[in-house]
Amino acid sequence: MSSTLWSNRQAKFEALLTQVDKAIEDLTSGTVDSYTIDDGQSRQVVTKINLPTLIQAQKYYLSQLKAIDKNLNPDLAKIGVAL
């Protein structure tokens, strides 16, 4: 895949991760009762009951970003630099 495609995927996952992080933070702090996540194709309203799903999504996005980083920066992955 081209670096442009990887960069586009990275931007998408970073944006989604930001929304999920904010939702988790706001829902657990009691700041809001619900939070809307917009992935560009649909909107999903989440509440505290969705926290396990949000945490699972958070882990997924982080793993995808790590995989993308390996593809964009293969030399760093080979020498074991942690990002």
Q: Any idea where the domains of the chain sit in the sequence?
A: 3-74
Which one is predicted more confidently, 4 or 35? Answer: 35
pLDDT tens by residue, 56-72: 999 999 999 998 888 87
The predicted pLDDT at position 24 comes to 97
Record the tokens describing residue 4, joined without a space: 């442009």
Q: How many CA atoms lie within 13 A of 24 on its CB side?
A: 15
Q: How confident is the model at residue 83 (pLDDT cuts 50, 70, 90)?
A: low
